[in-house]
């Protein structure tokens, strides 16, 4: 059961995820969480560094979709500024949102990376689907109260699975 929470790779941030390496792995799509994965929780603007990272994914032919449990009023404007399709109030880790994201990207689970900051939503959901899962360190400690409570349990699970985590350093070529 714990295997459900073990990501394929554990990275300090999305910027350690190399688009070229994803393509070399045979991946065609990237499904990503929003808050504390791409930007800090409820941060309305995408920094230039994020825009360039996303452009690199798309320039290499990767299809990108944001899947967030946050509300439409948060997710839609953020995704629109980046011209990326997004699902809001997704109900992760339920499979329905992941299946919809795969439909949007036009990719098969084995051809798709799931990038997120939470074991119990992003990684568990991606693993259940058979996706290549990438856990990122949360950008900020600021987050919804329910998430803060889940982080307490998540930290215990992380300590338990730590020996089996494949860690990538910032700037290291992932592949």
DSSP string, 80-127: HHHT--EE-S--TTSHHHHHHHHHHHT--GGGEEEEES-IIIIIHHHH
| Residue 172 falls inside a structural domain | no
pLDDT of residue 141: 72
21 close to 175: Cβ distance less than 8 angstroms:
yes
Q: Is 171 a domain residue? A: no
173, pLDDT greater than 90: no
Tokens of 71: 């509300």
Is residue 143 in some structural domain? yes
Radius of gyration of the chain (CA): 15
Looking up residue 11, the CATH number of its domain turns out to be 3.40.50.1000
**Mean pLDDT score across all residues of the chain:** 89
Question: Could you tell me if residue 175 is inside a domain?
Answer: no
Please indicate, yes or no, if residue 173 is contained in any of the structural domains: no
In the chain, the number of structural domains is 1
Tell me: the pLDDT tens digits for 92-135? Answer: 999 999 999 999 999 999 999 999 999 999 999 999 999 999 99
pLDDT tens across 31-80, in order? 999 999 999 988 899 999 999 999 999 999 999 999 999 999 999 999 99
């Amino acid at each position: 059961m714990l295997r459900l929470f073990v990501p394929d790779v554990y990275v300090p941030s999305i910027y350690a995820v190399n688009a070229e390496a994803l393509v070399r792995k045979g991946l065609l799509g990237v499904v990503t969480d929003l808050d504390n994965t791409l930007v800090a929780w409820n941060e309305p603007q995408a920094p230039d560094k994020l825009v360039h990272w996303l452009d690199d994914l798309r320039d290499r032919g990767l299809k990108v979709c944001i899947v967030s449990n946050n509300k439409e009023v948060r997710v839609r404007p953020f995704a629109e500024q980046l011209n990326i399709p997004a699902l809001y109030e997704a109900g992760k880790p339920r499979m329905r949102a992941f299946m919809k994201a795969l439909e949007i990207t036009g990719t098969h689970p084995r051809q798709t990376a799931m990038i997120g900051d939470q074991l119990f939503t992003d990684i568990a959901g991606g693993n259940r689907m058979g996706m290549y899962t990438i856990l990122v360190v949360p950008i900020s400690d600021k987050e919804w109260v329910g998430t803060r409570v889940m982080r307490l349990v998540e930290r215990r699970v992380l300590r338990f699975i730590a020996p089996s985590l494949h860690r990538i350093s910032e700037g290291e070529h992932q592949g």
